[in-house]
Amino acid sequence: MVLGFAFVSPTTSALTVLRQHQVRHAGGRVRRHFREHRHWELASRTHQLVMRGCVAERSSEYFGSGAAVRNLQRLSLHPAPQFIGSEYGGNAEFGGKNGGTVLLWFRSDLRLDDNPALCAALEEGASVLPVYCFDPRQFGKTSFGFEKTGRYRAKFLIESVADLRKALKKKGNNLLIRIGKPEEVIPDLCRKYEIKKVFYHQEVTYEELECEEAVARKLEDMKVEVHPFWTNTLYAVEDLPFPVEETPDVYTEYRLAVESKSRVRDPLAAPDEIRAIPRHVEYGTLPTLEDLGLGQVPKTPEYGSASTAGSSLHHFRGGESEAQQRLAQYVQDAKHALSVGGDVERAAAHLGADFSCKISPWLALGCVSPRRIFAEIRDHALNGAEGAQKSTTFFELVWRDFFRLITYKYSTSRLRKSERAAGMPHKASVAAAAPQAS
C-alpha cells in the first residue's frame, strides 16, 4: 500500500451527466428540454433516478436554455440502461434486461462521497453487494522483517471500515466483511450470489496490482466482468496530457504539463440510496486487532479531547465522517486565518491553523478524495479556483498524484516482466472512463 508520506498515501451515460451537475433544482428544465426533443420517456425516468442520488454539483453551464442536447451531443453521451424500460433495452429496475446484483469491492476508497466506482455500480445493477476484504498478506511482514501494517494503522483501518458500514446502513445497505484473499473471497461471492459484474477502485503498487490480476483471471474464467476505476487522484487519468505509463519521471515536468493542460473535475456527491441484494446475506463481523494477528494499542486520549486541546498532538480516528469533520475544521481555520490578514496568518490559511491540514491518514485510506478537498477550499476558503490553486495544500495534492502515478508506472512495468517470465498474459491496465462531475 501507499502509506504515510505527508500527502501520499469518458463516454459516460446521461445519468452521469446529470450527476455532474446540481439538477435537483434544474429537474424541471431537464424534463422540458427532453420533452421538446421527443424524449419524454427518457426525461421522466431520468428525473426519478436523479432524485435518488449520485447527484453532482453544478448545472447552470449544461442546462441553460437550449444547451442540454448540444452538450449531450458534444460529450458523445448515451442514455444509461436505468433510464428506460425494456422496450428500449433498459434494465430490471424499470422492467428491463440489465438488472441484477453487482459487487462493489472496496479497497482504499472507504467512502461514499466522490466514489466513481460506487456510482458506476449503481448505474449497472438493481442492487449492490458492497464487500471489504481484510487481506492477511497486508498484515504480515516484508522480506526485510518489517510489519506491513502496524497496530495504529490497523486500528485506523478497522475504524474506517466500521464507519463505512454505518454509512451504508443509513443508505439501506450493508458492508460484507471477510478476512481472506480477495482472489478467493470475491469469486466465491460471485458464485454464491450469481453476480456477473464486479466494480472496484484500482490501486498502484505491485502487490495490489498482482492481487487485481489474480481476481481478474478467476472472474474471467467465470464469465464475470470486471470494471476498475481510478478514483484517488486530484486529476482524472482521462484528463492527463500523457498516458499514465508515460508519466514524466521529473516532477517539475509533470507539474507544468498538468497545470497547463488538465483541470480538476468536480466531485461526485454521495448517492441518496444504495439498494441491497434482495436475499439473506451473511455480512460478517468486524475483526479485532487480534483477529489480524496484531496486539492492542495503548489507551490514548481521543483527538480533540480536553487533554489534547491546544496541543499539536492529534490522535486520529478513522472513517469518512471523521474525515469530513477534519476537512470542515481545516476550511474554517483557513477562512479565519485569511480574515486576520497578516503574512503568518495567510501562510496558515494555506496549510491549516497550525501549519498542517492533518488529513493525510484519511487520504491514504480513501476516506476523503483529493477532489473533495480541492472543492472545499476552492468554494469556501481560498477565493475560488485561482486562490485554491495557489495554496500549499493544492501543491501537495499535485505532488501526491505524481507519486501515485510514478508508483503505478513502475509497478505495472515490473508486473509485466514477471508475467512474461511466467508465460502469463497481462490483464491490468489503468481504469478507463469513469463517472465525472465536470
- The distance of Cα 23 from the centroid of its chain, to the nearest Å, equals 22
- In sequence order, what are the residues at sequence separation of 6 or more whose Cβ sits closer than 8 angstroms to the Cβ of residue 352? 330, 333, 334, 358
Q: pLDDT category, 352, cuts 50, 70, 90?
A: low
pLDDT band of residue 300 (cuts 50, 70, 90) is low
Q: How far is CA 135 from CA 142, 279, 342, in A?
A: 14, 26, 49
Q: Residue 50 has what pLDDT? A: 39
What whole-number percentage of the chain has pLDDT above 90? 53
The closest alpha carbon to 67, from 46, 39, 47, 37, belongs to 37
Within a domain: residue 16? yes
Residue 134: beta bridge partners?
Answer: 179
- Residue 82 predicted with pLDDT over 70: no
**Cβ–Cβ < 8 Å for 164, 132:** yes
Any domain includes 83: yes
Q: In the chain, how many domains are there?
A: 1
What grid cell was written down for 174? 450493508
pLDDT of 428 reads 52
- Is the pLDDT at 19 greater than 70? The verdict is no
pLDDT at 434: 46
Which of 57-66, 211-220, 376-385, 392-401 comes out lowest in average pLDDT? 57-66
Model confidence over 102-134: pLDDT tens digits?
A: 999 999 999 999 999 999 999 998 899 999 999
The neighbouring-strand residues paired with 266 are 437
Closest CA to 128 of 159, 102, 157: 102
Helix/strand number for the chain, H first, E second? 15, 5
140-162 per-position pLDDT tens digit: 888 899 999 999 999 999 999 99
The answer to whether residue 60 is domain-embedded is yes
Domain range enclosing 76: 12-97
Residue 21 lies in a domain: yes
* Residues annotated within a binding site for FAD: 356-360, 396-403
The residue ranking higher by pLDDT, 315 or 51, is: 315
Q: Note the pLDDT of residue 334.
A: 77
pLDDT at 42: 34
Q: What pLDDT does residue 383 have?
A: 62
Which of the four pLDDT bands, split at 50, 70 and 90, describes residue 350?
Answer: low
Q: How far is CA 215 from the centre of its chain?
A: 20
Q: Which residues are annotated as a binding site?
A: 356-360, 396-403
- Has residue 119 been placed in a domain? no
What average pLDDT does the segment 191-212 reach?
Answer: 96
The rounded distance, in Å, linking the Cα atoms of 438 and 435 is 10
Residue 328 pLDDT? 92
Residue 329 lies in a domain: no
Q: Is residue 91 part of a domain?
A: yes
What's the pLDDT at 210?
A: 94
Asked if residue 359 lies in contact with residue 330, where contact means CB atoms within 8 angstroms, the answer is: yes
- Give per-residue pLDDT as tens, 242-256: 999 999 999 999 999
Average per-residue pLDDT for the chain? 76
Instruction: Report yes or no on 76 lying in a domain.
Output: yes
Q: How confident is the model at residue 21 (pLDDT cuts 50, 70, 90)?
A: very low
Query: Can you give the pLDDT at residue 28?
Result: 41
Q: Which residues contact 311 (CB under 8 A, 6 or more apart)?
A: none
For 315-346, write each residue's pLDDT tens digit.
789 999 999 999 998 888 877 766 665 554 45
60-64, 220-224, 227-231, 367-371 — which is least confidently predicted? 60-64
What is the mean pLDDT of the segment spanning 25-54? 38
C-beta separation of 23 from 59 below 8 A: yes
